[in-house]
């Protein structure tokens, strides 16, 4: 049976697969920082060459931001669109990294070998599990399991500003596939693979509050002049009530309660909330009162402060009364919450809280609704069985706390359902210093894709 | 009469006096930043040479921080100790400066010529008014008006950490003078010179709140993990009530009400609160309800946020759930408020507000009580008359909103009263970009000191 031969090939070629991944990881493709624009182009070009080596007709197509890599290959059914992203998060604070973020290394840890570096788990390592599965398939059979369209973007970490126009401009070409495969999620735990069937949406807002028209001496003006840092603190403090609920008017419109069926599935997972929190030094769930931790991170909307800055933040002390205070605030959305309505309501609330003499400027960073997948397409059950064959425990349909707006855009613009399969773990330190991807995630992830491709293309 | 000759000499030598000041201003003696340690030493050495050129026996004495410049000269009564500081504030945000901060220039403005650069008003320009008055006196008379001790420190902008030990170690030497003269304050307005008879104290606190043990992905953990930026915002928001009063328990212990006498004096000044606020882009007093602006900045205690930082603050957006949030918070004190008791009460309040899983670290930056001068010493009235002779309007005894802890230390450790005379203006942009000192402040300030020295040494 050729699947066994393909899996054996994946095992035998692990070292050379890793070498390719390491090369990819060394490209510092930080999409949010204009200083790395050329590196994003390099990452796109590298992927084009990689696909070309597999016989895929691929190209890096320009956008107003970073390029989209598009490739087509193969015949037969189903026609899958595989999506991944080649951009990565910034690396600050750099001093907290134990190894240079763009010099990936394989390290031994008490939990096994890991690949350490920026982008290992999010998303280069994950993306390459699919590419390497295709490479093994092609090497063993000389063919492709089915028709495959590749779509790799370079702006996922900045809210995908070029994606919607690109999908719209290339709708005819990209709406041909039957289903999208997205590899940017995690296993449920070390033993349990997962297919994510819901994702939270995201609204990102930058706000800058200005009081006095210059920084002042807190001795000469303190007491009489409005302090924008205090104003910002009051606004942030007012965004949640004592029960941990978000106070933005209308925020909970469109937030569904869990169905009994999904609640039962999640209860059956045996999720250990204590371990989940303990892994990051915490012990008490900090979200809405009366909600389980799984609900808090999978099915409840949130409001978080992602950044905050005002006045003097260097060494020592400066008795300045700052002219400005700024924050980056994001909302995770569920169900049918409307990102644009929430943005508007948030801005109205902030504006109404401003005292005399203060101005506010808003900067929008993203706005995407939540995605809830229909699992009726038979590929979901086929993939669940295939994943269960590779891992110790049976695969589960789970919720996802993160935001992969692309799934919503695929549905809205291309009419495509998405199946989200990924192999990360909760301790991968995504977006943080010392990001890693377990060697097992990479190896068995590659094997998993071979099994899934085999199952769905039969 | 030799005073006239001395004043004429000051007028004639203005250009060379300015040249000396410019040289002094070019030394970037930022005390809070270790990168400028050698520059602080250079500024101290420059002052020693300057005093030596006047025949003063002076030296830069080492401390655990930056050196103290001490010099003695002259004979007769009274014996005055003149204090100034040679260190300056940091210059960030550098992009808001219109000229390089350490390349001082003389500029024409609608209000007359100004000297522009860091330290022009705070305190190098002010310090040099006294030195230049002495230089003119010596040049014309060949003598000193009275016995003078010079004390210049280099850590005023960082809370003077070495000052108390230095005063204690050199108590015998430095407690000889009859009164201290401090030149680090402002005129009341362009026409009205002032002697500051009260100063607010200062407690500076750095706080760092830690939640999760690393930065987290706000999608995977948002909702369940405590966000220290939100915790910090709640704490800062809770530091004031709706009337603008500080809520730290016991904070108002020792805060006196204005006497009718002082209130009458201040009312007579014709202070224009609207102009004062409009000068920095504001229109509404933001302090305690029911207090005049002069009370808010001269006689009421405050709590200000001087800096705040958490998470991602660069360009673009990063959906991080930060591990830490930090703030620099200061309190201005009046009357007999106890800085150490307030620090302790603040720390207790913050600690009690921390939710589960959060830790806080405190860093103390300064703790000095308010100073209230006794004006009974006849030098006060003599100086007031002398200043009135130089300027268009009569000199006033006023309050000061800033903190010059040195006055308190002189009283406590050396038993010395202080007389605070300075020539700055409210729009000097102390601690801010584009700091300036009016050429008139420098010129007539120098003339003022000649008059004051003449009046008090008669």
pLDDT attached to residue A110 = 95
Contact flag B314-A287 (C-beta cutoff 8 Å) = no
Q: Which of A329, A348, A368 is the last residue of a domain?
A: A368
User: Which residues in chain A are contacts of B356 at CB distance < 8 A?
Assistant: 283-284, 286
DSSP structure string for B318-361: --EE-SEEEEEEEEEE-TT--HHHHHHHHHHHHHHH--TT-EEE
Instruction: Tell me, yes or no, whether B267 lies in a domain.
Output: no
B403 with B368: CB under 8 angstroms?
yes
pLDDT category of residue A217 using cuts at 50, 70 and 90: confident
Does residue A290 belong to any structural domain of this protein? no
Question: Which residues in chain B touch residue A226, judged by CB atoms under 8 angstroms apart?
Answer: 282, 284, 286
Can you read off the two tokens belonging to residue A419?
């199946």
Task: Tell whether B425 is covered by a domain.
Answer: yes
Residue from B93, B223, B276 to probe the interface with A (highest A Cβ count within 10 Å): B223
Q: What is the pLDDT of residue B183?
A: 95
Instruction: Pick the residue of A188, A208, A210, A220 with the most B CBs within 10 A to test the interface with B by mutation.
Output: A220
Could A225 and B282 be called an inter-chain contact, meaning their C-beta atoms sit closer than 8 Å? Answer: yes
Q: Measured between alpha carbons, how far is B179 from B279 in angstroms, rounded to an integer?
A: 35
- Say yes or no to pLDDT of A1 above 70: no
Nearest partner of A386 among A303, A452, A311, judged by Cα: A452
Chain-centroid distance, C-alpha A17: 24
- Residues B78 and B158 grouped into a single domain: yes
Give φ, ψ of B107 to 5 degrees: -125, 145
pLDDT one-digit tens code per residue, B151-207: 999 999 988 999 999 999 999 999 999 999 999 999 998 999 999 988 899 999 999
What contacts A326, CB < 8 A, 6 or more positions away?
A206, A207, A208, A209, A232, A307, A308, A309, A310, B313
pLDDT digits (tens, 9 = 90+) for A408-424: 899 889 999 999 999 99
Mean pLDDT is highest, among A1-10, A442-451, B189-198, for A442-451
CA–CA gap between residue A402 and residue A235 (Å, rounded): 25
Distance from CA of B146 to the nearest CA of A (A): 33
* Closest-CA distance of chain A to residue B341, Å: 20
> Is the sign of the CA dihedral B94, B99, B103, B104 positive or negative?
negative
Residues A250 and A350 in one domain: yes
Measured between beta carbons, the chain B residues lying within 8 angstroms of A283 are 356-357
Nearest to A401 among B157, B215, B220 (CB): B220
The three-state DSSP-derived secondary structure of B34-90 is HHHHHHHHHHHHHHHHHHHCCCCEEEEECCCCCCEEEEEECCCCCEEEEEEECCECC
Nearest CA in chain A to B35: A315
- Minimum Cα–Cα distance from B229: chain A residue: A305
**Closest residue on chain B to A432 (Cα):** B215
Residues A332 and A374 in one domain: no
CA distance A383 to chain B (A): 24
More confident residue, A306 or A93: A306
Tokens of A408: 């919503």
Contact B432 A217 (CB under 8 A): yes
Q: Between B215, B225, B305, which is nearest A310 by CB? A: B305
B160 contacts B405 by C-beta, under 8 angstroms: yes
Are A173 and A222 part of one and the same domain?
Answer: no
Same domain, B171 and B235: no
Residue B166 is predicted with a pLDDT of 98
Neighbours of A160 (CB within 10 A): 23
Separation between Cα atoms, residue A335 and residue B293, nearest integer Å: 51
Out of A186, A307, A319, closest to residue B330 by CB: A319
Total CB pairs under 8 A between chain A and B: 361
A51 in the same domain as A73: yes
> In terms of CA atoms, which chain B residue is nearest residue A399?
B220
Q: Are the beta carbons of A272 and A372 closer than 8 angstroms?
A: no
Least Cα separation, residue A308 to chain B (angstroms):
5
Is the torsion defined by CA of B10, B16, B20, B22 positive or negative? positive
Nearest CA in chain B to A239: B230
Please tell me which of the candidates B202, B224, B227 has its beta carbon nearest to residue A285: B224
Cβ contact, residue pair A356, B283, below 8 Å: yes
**Closest-approach residue (CA) in chain B for A301:** B223
- Domain end (from B368, B402, B424): B368
Q: Would you say A17 and A445 are in contact if contact means Cβ atoms under 8 Å apart?
A: no
What pTM does this model have?
0.78
Q: Tell me, rounded to whole angstroms, the distance of Cα B395 from its chain centroid.
A: 21
Share of chain A above pLDDT 70, in %: 100
**Residue A263: pLDDT above 90?**
no
Q: Are residues B378 and B364 in the same domain?
A: no
Chain B residues within 8 A of A273 when measuring between CB atoms: 224
| Ranges under pLDDT 70 in chain B | 1
Task: State the CB neighbour count (10 A cutoff) for residue A116.
Answer: 23
A28-56 pLDDT, tens digit each: 999 999 999 999 999 999 999 999 999 99
Other Cβ atoms less than 10 A from the Cβ of A173: the count is 13
Which is it for the CA torsion B319, B321, B323, B329, positive or negative? positive
Counting the structural domains of chain B, the total is 2
Note whether B401 contacts A223, CB cutoff 8 Å.
Answer: yes
Q: Does residue B308 lie in a domain region?
A: yes
Tokens of B63: 């401390």
| C-alpha B147: how far from chain center | 26
Q: Which of B90, B222, B294, B365 to mutate to test the interface with A (most CBs of A within 10 A)?
A: B222
Helix (H) or strand (E) segment spanning residue B433: none
Residue pointed to by tokens 């008791």: B341
Q: Are residues A347 and A324 in the same domain?
A: yes
User: Looking at beta carbons, which residues of chain A come within 8 Å of B230?
Assistant: 236-237, 239-240, 304-305
What is the per-residue burial (b if ≥16 Cβ within 10 Å, else e) of A129-145?
bbbbbbbbbbebeeebb
Domain ends where: B368, B385, B412?
B368
- Residue A293 located in a structural domain: no
d(CA B350, CA A7): 58
Looking at the domain assignment, is residue A45 inside a domain? yes
Please report where in the chains the tokens 């005129």 appear, as a residue.
Answer: B187
For B335: left if phi > 0, alpha if psi spans -120 to 50, otherwise beta; the answer is: left
Q: What span, in angstroms and rounded, lies between the C-alpha atoms of B163 and B171?
A: 12
**B123, B44 in Cβ contact below 8 A?**
no
Structure tokens given for B179: 């009164």
Contacts of B216 in chain A (CB under 8 A): 280, 431-432
Percentage of chain A beyond pLDDT 90 is: 84
Q: What DSSP string describes B360-396?
A: EEEEEEEEE--EE----SHHHHHHHHHHHHHSSS--E
Residue with tokens 């069985």: A385
For chain B, the distance separating the N- and C-terminal CA atoms, rounded to the nearest angstrom, is: 13
- The reply to whether A265 falls in a domain is no
Give the DSSP H or E segment for A443: helix A439-456
- How far away is chain B from the Cα of A455, in angstroms, using its nearest Cα? 30
Rounded to a whole number, what is the distance in Å from the CA of A33 to chain B's nearest CA? 7
B75 contacts B53 by C-beta, under 8 angstroms: no
Sort out which chain B residues have CB atoms less than 8 A from A237's CB and list them. Answer: 230, 233-234, 236-238
Nearest CA in chain A to B158: A317
Minimal Cα–Cα distance from A177 to chain B, Å? 29
Per-residue pLDDT of B282-308, as tens digits, reads 999 999 999 999 999 999 999 999 999
- CATH code of residue B214: 3.30.70.360
In tens, the pLDDT along A116-160 reads: 999 999 999 999 999 999 999 999 999 999 999 999 999 999 889
Range of the domain at A377: 2-199+370-456
Give the contacts of A44 (CB within 8 A, at least 6 positions apart): A60, A66, A67, A68, A69, A86, A152, A154
Token output for B323: 């591990």
Q: Return the residue of B nearest to A32 by Cα.
A: B316
Q: Is residue B323 part of a domain?
A: yes
Which tokens in the block code for residue B238?
Answer: 């809770």
Smallest CA-to-CA distance from A233 within A286, A309, A332, A344 is with A309
Q: Are strands B105-109 and B112-116 parallel, antiparallel or unpaired?
A: antiparallel
**B450 token code pair:** 């000649």
Cβ contact, residue pair B227, A286, below 8 Å: yes
Number of residues assigned to chain A: 458
Residues A209 and A242 in one domain: yes
- B145, B155 contact by CB (below 8 A): no
CA distance A231 to chain B (A): 8
| Chain B residues within an 8 Å CB radius of A285 | 224
* Angle, helices A439-456/A378-390, rounded to nearest 10 degrees: 140
For B265, the 3-state DSSP assignment is: helix
Residues in B touching A310 (Cβ below 8 Å): 305, 307-309
Q: Are B87 and B171 within one domain?
A: yes
Are B78 and B144 in contact, with CB atoms under 8 Å apart? no
Q: Which two tokens stand for residue A30?
A: 């930080």
pLDDT of residue B1: 56
Question: Closest by alpha carbon to A124, among A168, A92, A154, A158?
Answer: A154
Q: What is the dihedral of CA A267, A268, A270, A273, to 10 degrees?
A: -20
Longest dimension (CA), chain A: 83
* Alpha carbons A300 and A245: distance in angstroms, whole number: 10
Same domain, residue pair B91 and B236: no
The tens digit of pLDDT for each residue in A149-199 reads 999 999 999 889 999 999 999 999 999 999 999 999 999 989 999 999 888
Question: What CATH number corresponds to the domain at position B167?
Answer: 3.40.630.10
* Strand residues in A315-380 grouped as ranges (E): 320-321, 324-333, 359-368, 371-372
B156 and B16 inside one domain: yes
Nearest to B308 among A216, A277, A309 (CB): A309
DSSP bridge partners of A189: A192
Nearest in space to B113 (alpha carbons), one of B453, B444, B441: B441
Residue A230 in tokens: 């205090």
**Chain A partners within 8 Å of B337 (Cβ):** none
């Amino acid at each position: 049976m050729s699947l066994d031969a393909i899996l054996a090939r994946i095992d035998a070629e692990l070292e050379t697969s890793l070498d390719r991944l390491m090369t990819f990881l060394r490209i510092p493709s930080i999409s949010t920082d204009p200083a790395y624009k050329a590196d994003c182009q390099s990452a796109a070009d590298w992927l084009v060459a990689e696909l070309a080596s597999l016989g895929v007709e691929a190209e890096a197509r320009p956008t107003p931001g970073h390029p989209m890599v598009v490739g087509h290959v193969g015949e037969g059914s189903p026609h899958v669109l595989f999506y991944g992203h080649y951009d990565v998060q910034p690396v600050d604070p750099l001093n907290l990294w134990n190894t240079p973020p763009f010099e990936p290394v394989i390290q031994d840890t008490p939990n096994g070998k890991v690949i350490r570096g920026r982008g290992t788990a999010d998303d280069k390592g994950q993306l390459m599990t699919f590419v390497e599965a295709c490479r093994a398939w092609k090497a063993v059979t000389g063919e492709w399991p089915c028709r495959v369209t590749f779509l790799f973007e370079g702006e996922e970490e900045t809210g995908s500003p070029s994606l919607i126009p690109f999908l719209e401009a290339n709708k005819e070409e990209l709406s041909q596939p039957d289903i999208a495969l997205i590899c940017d999620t995690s296993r449920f735990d070390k033993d349990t693979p997962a297919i994510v069937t819901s994702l939270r949406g995201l609204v990102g807002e930058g706000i800058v509050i200005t009081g006095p028209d210059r920084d002042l001496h807190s001795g000469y003006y303190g007491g009489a002049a409005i302090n924008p840092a205090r104003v910002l603190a009051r606004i942030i403090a007012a965004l949640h009530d004592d029960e941990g609920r978000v106070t933005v008017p209308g925020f909970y419109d469109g937030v569904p309660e869990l169905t009994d069926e999904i609640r039962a599935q999640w209860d059956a997972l045996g999720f250990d909330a204590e371990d989940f929190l303990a892994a990051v030094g915490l012990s008490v769930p900090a979200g809405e009162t009366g909600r389980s931790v799984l609900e808090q991170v999978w099915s409840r909307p949130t409001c978080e402060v992602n950044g905050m800055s005002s006045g003097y933040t260097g060494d020592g002390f400066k008795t300045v009364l700052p002219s400005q205070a700024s924050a980056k605030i994001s909302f995770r959305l569920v169900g049918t919450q409307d990102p644009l309505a929430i943005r508007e309501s948030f801005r109205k609330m902030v504006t109404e809280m401003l005292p005399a003499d203060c101005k506010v400027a808003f900067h929008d960073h993203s706005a995407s609704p939540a995605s809830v997948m229909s699992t009726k397409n038979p590929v979901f059950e086929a993939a669940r069985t295939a994943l269960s064959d590779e891992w110790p425990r049976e695969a589960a349909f789970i919720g996802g706390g993160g935001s992969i707006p692309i799934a919503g855009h695929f549905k809205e613009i291309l009419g495509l359902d998405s199946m989200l399969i990924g192999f990360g773990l909760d301790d991968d330190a995504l977006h943080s210093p010392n990001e890693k991807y377990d060697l097992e995630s990479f190896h068995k992830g590659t094997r998993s894709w071979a099994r899934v491709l085999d199952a769905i293309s039969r």
